[in-house]
Structure 1
Amino acid sequence: MYVVSYFTDADEALHLAYSHDGQAFATVNGGRPVLRGTVGTGRLRDPFIGVGPDGLFHLLATDGWTSPLIVHASSADLVDWSAQELLPVMAGVEGALNAWAPEFFLDRATGLYHLIWSSVVEAGGSAEGRDFEHNTQNHRIWHCTTRDFASFSAPGLFFDPGHSVIDATVRALDGGGFLMAYKDERGTNDLHTAHKNIHLTTFTIPGGPYTASAGPVTPSVVEGPSIFRRGEEMVMIFDHYLEGSYGASRSRDGLAWERVPLDLPPGMRHASVLKTAHLPALSALSAG
């Protein structure tokens, strides 16, 4: 079973859809949210769901445009959720203005879960008066680690290619190491811009060193990549955010990618895909 988590411009809350073949996705709960934000700004943008060390599903989400906090909650079935909390992931970092698109991945070699997100850090800077929604800011990828989603390490810089990048997503590779997709955030938000597309890099140890960037592997203008395994291939989805649509590509080796059609929910924004066992409660909610 494949579950896609997303938000919409009309409703910045957690929406879900599912698929049994990784090709055609049906909305859950009639396309209505399954969870709304109750802390911070009340927004749940860029929702990501993964499985933690306790076997529960853990949700991370962006708490609005200019919050340096991340929303966290957990669930056994993706239907009933724990109380939401705000994680101060950029605590102690002077000039941290935001924390976008949080995700996590497991480093099996150490047993550590790495939370990653995008932040602008400007000593003495302020988010007041900035149009984060429409104007490019100077982001880098940050991270912290946890073993239990209860206590977290201090934040640190995770990936800095020397220019603005956002929306990193990481997959463990079958042969060892990790593949990371990310958005080159340079350029402007128009369809004729340079950049604003997805690149790839690999690493063996979280935090680098990183291989030379490969890409772009998508057209412009896109963001919010997510990669999932479907049979013998990897599928990457990405958000054509200026055009209100979604695209997808597939690859067998993580190097050569070709476009592929997927049937995804309309209005979907910054989605993430989780492969999991069948969830009866989620199926029942969908049927209802």
Structure 2
Amino acid sequence: MTFLMALSITSCTTKSAYLFTSFHEPANEGLRMLYSYDACHWTDMNHIFLKPEAGNPKIMRDPSMVQGPDGTFRLVWTTGWKGEQGFGYASSKDLVNWSPQQHINIMTTEPTTVNVWAPEIFYDDEAKQYIIVWASTVPFRFPKGQEDENNNHRLYYTTTTDFKTFAPAKLFLDPGFSVIDAQILKRGHEDYVLVMKDNTRPNRNILVAFGTNPLGPYSNYSKRFTEPFSEGPNAVKAGKNWLIYYDSYRLKKYGAMQTTDFKTFKDVSNQVIIPEGHKHGTILKVSRKTLDQLRKSIGQ
């Protein structure tokens, strides 16, 4: 290892533990998790923590998880490629014992909805509510450009405080192109970044936009900063840097971009370790005690 590489990796070392939610294709097994102590080097726990039961296809893709202020972990996921008008949901206090799974049929008010993809959960600590953002295609609703009418996505959202009642689905973002895989990041008070995938042909890569409220509006779109055929961006703050992980699915590898300001991006893919077979989820910080107890529960 060169000194420069070692220095770069050390710069993202923290005392926190991290979990990276995951799944393996063909997505019928359920929730997997990776862990890391520095947000750079990841280890697969090689365990199924939750088998999918929600929705008709009984699959789990794009698992997104957040720990709320009450300590409860909230998990949402994609339940099907097409024909599903909702997302899966379950909660846990310890990541070992889970609530009964639910299918939140959030897009039934739009009966022609083709899909509900990659729900991403964010806790808004200022409004004291959870925001769930996903991508759906509602045919003939938006100009489609080069996209097929059934693949012309826009972002929608709902909010909830208790996961018993959900606000009606509303349009979250129409950037003028097909967009999926969105993640809300909070940098400071009234300072938010939206990381997303431009799903249009021939782009299919990652960009960001900026806002003063987690619900938008978002503007000042960046250039696309990953190679084509990139998706599933998920970012984590590690030291002074943000790391944006993404699935470079055509190259069959995981990539990572490093940034401090979301204006300039450095490719650090060769400095991170992602286990083979990992498919995109989200990263969250947890206490080392939580991670140790989780590993102990599966005999590690």
Q: Fold match, TM over 0.5?
A: yes
| Deviation of 1:282 (Å) | 1.3
Question: Does 2:294 correspond to 1:273?
Answer: no
User: Which of 75, 88, 102 is the aligned partner of 2:105?
Assistant: 88
| 3-state SS in 2 of match to 1:158 | strand
In the TM superposition, residue 81 of structure 1 has moved relative to its aligned partner by: 1.2
Written as runs of structure 1 = structure 2, the 5 A alignment for 1:1-288 is 1-12=17-28, 13-28=30-45, 31-40=46-55, 41-66=57-82, 67-122=84-139, 137-174=151-188, 176-187=190-201, 194-260=202-268, 261-278=271-288, 279=290, 280-285=292-297, 287-288=299-300
> Cα deviation per residue 1:111-154 (whole Å; 9 max; x = unaligned)?
22211000001269xxxxxxxxx997100000011112221100
Scaled by the length of structure 1, what TM-score is found?
Answer: 0.89
Report if the CA contact (8 A) 1:61-1:71 is conserved.
yes
Higher helix share: 2
Aligned residue pair count: 272
Q: Deviations over 1:218-258 (max 9, x none)?
A: 11110000011111111100001223210001111122110
Amino acid at match of 2:283: V
Q: Among the aligned pairs, what percent are the same residue?
A: 32
Q: Which amino acid aligns with 1:225?
A: P
Any unmatched runs of 5+ in structure 1?
Answer: 125-133, 188-193
**1:42 match: secondary structure:** coil
Q: 1:160 Cα shift? A: 0.4
Query: Deviation digits for residues 149-198 of structure 1, max 9, x if unmatched?
Result: 221100000000111100001111135321011111011xxxxxx30000
Aligned to 1:127: none
Q: CA deviation at 1:32?
A: 3.3
On the 8 A contact 2:186/2:192 being kept in 1, the answer is yes
Maintained 8 Å contact 1:95/1:123: no
**Cα deviations across residues 237-287 of structure 1 (Å, max 9, x unaligned)?**
000122321000111112211011211111111221111112132121455
In 2, the alpha carbon distance for the partners of 1:277 and 1:57 equals: 13
Q: Are the structure 2 counterparts of residues 53 and 87 from structure 1 closer, same or farther at C-alpha, using a change threshold of 3 Å?
A: farther
Amino acid corresponding to residue 160 of structure 2 in structure 1: T
Q: CA RMSD in A?
A: 2.1
Instruction: Find the residue that maps to 1:236 and give its secondary structure.
Output: strand
CA pair 208-97 structure 1, distance change in 2 beyond 3 A? same
Whole-angstrom CA distance in 1 between matches of 2:48 and 2:222: 36
Between 220-229 and 172-181, report the one with greater CA deviation: 172-181
Structure 2 distance, partners of 1:163, 1:24, is 34
Q: Structure 1 residues 169 and 286, CA, compared in 2 at 3 Å: closer, same or farther?
A: same
Cα 1:107–1:71, aligned 2, differ >3 Å: closer, same or farther?
A: same
Q: Could you tell me whether the CA contact under 8 Å between 2:137 and 2:150 is conserved in 1?
A: no
Aligned partners of 1:91, 1:135: CA distance in 2, in Å? 19
The Cα shift of 1:209 comes to: 2.4
Paired with 1:54 and 1:98, the residues of 2 have a C-alpha distance of 31
Rounded to whole Å, the distance in 1 between the matches of 2:243 and 2:278 is 17
Secondary structure of the residue that 1:86 maps to in structure 2? Answer: strand
Q: Once the two structures are superposed, what CA deviation does each residue of 1:69-99 show, in whole Å capped at 9, x if it has no partner? A: 1000011122221111101111212311211
Deviation at residue 206 of structure 1 after TM alignment:
3.5
